[in-house]
């Protein structure tokens, strides 16, 4: 199906929610407002003519230079004609809340926990939002750009000899 048809249907249904559309990259990329993102994904999944029934992946991203610093990126896939679509939404750093999509896709359960673990994005309505990969007592969100890769408390490796 043509990207233009998908964009047309989305823009008709969500007049305010779709903030930008980009068709130049490898797949159709849409930026949606965080209030509408759940309905956008539900529309893409449940509308018979669209039918994107597979959530490929869900991840977070951090742009410290933007006004809305944290983002969530969803990739959806329709098997019948191999169409993929990428939907992004951006959130402010002070209050990074976005509704969960676990009611639409059970696959999003652990993916949202991983995004919370790495970036601190809160998914409202998630059944079990706690850290999944890191230790529970970790008190910061490690994938944000301001934190270093290495553990600053290690004493056996001297940064002078490791070129850092």
Partner 1 sequence: MGTANYIKVDPPEGYTSPGIFATMFDKVVGLARKNSIWPLPFATSCCGIEFMATMGAHYDLGRFGAERLSFSPRQADLLMVMGTIAKKMAPVVQQVYVQMAEPRWVIAVGACAASGGIFDTYSVLQGIDRIVPVDVYVPGCPPRPEQIIDGFMKVQELVGKEPLRRRYSKEYKDLLESYGIK
Partner 2 sequence: MNDNRYTTLNLGPTHPATHGIFQNVLTLDGERIIDTEQTIGYIHRAFEKISERRPFYQITTLTDRMNYCSSPINNIGWHMAVEKLLGVRTTKRVDYMRIILMELARITDHLVCNSIIGVDSGALTGFIYVFQEREKVYEIYELLCGARLTTNVGRIGGFERDFSPEVIKKIYEFLDHLPKVLKQFEKLLLRNRIFMDRTINVGPISAERAMNYGFSGPNLRAAGVDYDVRVTSPYSSYDDFDFTIPVGTQGDTYDRFCVRQEEVWQSLKLIRNALDNLPGGKYVVDVPEFYLPPKEDVYSKMEALIWHFKIVMGEIGAPVGEIYHSVEAGNGELGFYLVSDGGRTPYRLHFRRPCFIYYQALPEMIRGGVLSDAILTMSSMNVIAGELDG
Are β-strands 28-32 and 18-22 bridged in parallel, bridged antiparallel, or unpaired? antiparallel
Kindly tell me which residue out of 34, 38, 86, 126 binds partner 2, with binding defined by CB under 8 A.
Answer: 86
Smallest distance from partner 2 to CB 112, Å = 11
Structure tokens that stand for 97 in this block? 């809340």
Number of residues that bind partner 2 (CB under 8 A): 34
Q: How many CA atoms does the CB half-sphere of 98 hold within 13 Å?
A: 34
Residue 67 as a binder of partner 1 (CB under 8 A): the answer is: no
**Using rule CB under 8 A, residue 151 touches partner 1:** yes
* Dihedral-angle region of residue 125 (phi above 0 means left; psi in -120 to 50 means alpha; beta otherwise): left
Q: Which residue in this structure is represented by tokens 């652990």?
A: 110
CB of residue 25 vs partner 2: minimum separation in angstroms? 6
Check residue 149 for interaction with partner 1 (CB under 8 A). Answer: yes
Q: Which of 15, 148, 160, 161 binds partner 1 (CB under 8 A)?
A: 148
* CA–CA separation, 130 and 112 (whole Å): 10
* Nearest approach, Cβ of residue 62 and partner 1 (Å): 16
């Amino acid at each position: 199906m043509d990207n233009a048809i998908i964009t047309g249907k989305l823009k008709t249904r969500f007049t305010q929610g779709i903030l930008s559309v980009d068709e130049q990259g490898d797949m159709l990329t849409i930026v949606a407002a965080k209030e509408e993102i759940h309905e956008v994904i539900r529309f893409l999944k449940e509308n018979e003519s669209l039918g994107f029934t597979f959530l490929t992946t869900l991840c977070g991203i951090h742009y410290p230079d933007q006004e809305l610093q944290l983002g969530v990126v969803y990739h959806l896939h329709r098997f019948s004609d191999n169409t993929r679509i990428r939907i992004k939404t951006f959130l402010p750093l002070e209050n990074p809340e976005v509704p969960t999509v676990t009611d639409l896709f059970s696959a999003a359960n652990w993916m949202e926990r991983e995004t919370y673990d790495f970036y601190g994005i809160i998914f409202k309505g998630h059944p079990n939002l706690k850290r999944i990969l890191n230790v529970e007592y970790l008190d910061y969100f490690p994938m944000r750009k301001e934190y270093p890769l290495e553990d600053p408390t290690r004493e056996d490796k001297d940064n002078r000899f490791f070129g850092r």
